[in-house]
Amino acid sequence: EVQLVESGGGLVQPGGSLRLSCAASGFTFSSYWMSWVRQAPGKGLEWVANIKQDGSEKYYVDSVKGRFTISRDNAKNSLYLQMNSLRAEDTAVYYCARVRGLTVAYWYFDLWGRGTLVTVSS
């Protein structure tokens, strides 16, 4: 079955760190760009970061630049998000998503995990 399964969420204090993981199965993980998208409680979707198939290119939303790092391990079919210097406004469900599209201008997300909740609070 083609699926993405996130893990690693939880409660963390402001200023703390957390590492999210996403396990991919049922497709050739190394062939796709991958992404993290988040959703604060009761709010809309917000794109967070993308990573190229070989990890050589990465894009981030401005609000997480310098604090979050997206990475991947193709041998383990896994995507990661290292989150440092966490803030209350980072509280959200974090979704792992597969990126599709002819070129970057056409990117969209065709497969989503069920998400993992990150709560930043003292």
Q: List contacts with another protein (CB under 8 A).
A: 35, 37, 44-47, 50, 59, 61-62, 95, 100-101, 104-110, 112-115
- Give 75 or 105: the residue with its C-beta nearer to another protein: 105
Q: Report the nearest approach of another protein to the CB of residue 38 (Å).
A: 11
- Give 43 or 87: the residue with its C-beta nearer to another protein: 43
- How many other CB atoms sit within 10 Å of the CB of residue 80? 20
- Give 14 or 58: the residue with its C-beta nearer to another protein: 58
92 alpha carbon, distance to own chain's centre: 12
Strands (E), the chain: 3-7, 10-12, 18-25, 34-39, 45-51, 58-60, 68-73, 78-83, 92-100, 108-112, 116-120
Q: Report the nearest approach of another protein to the CB of residue 110 (Å).
A: 5
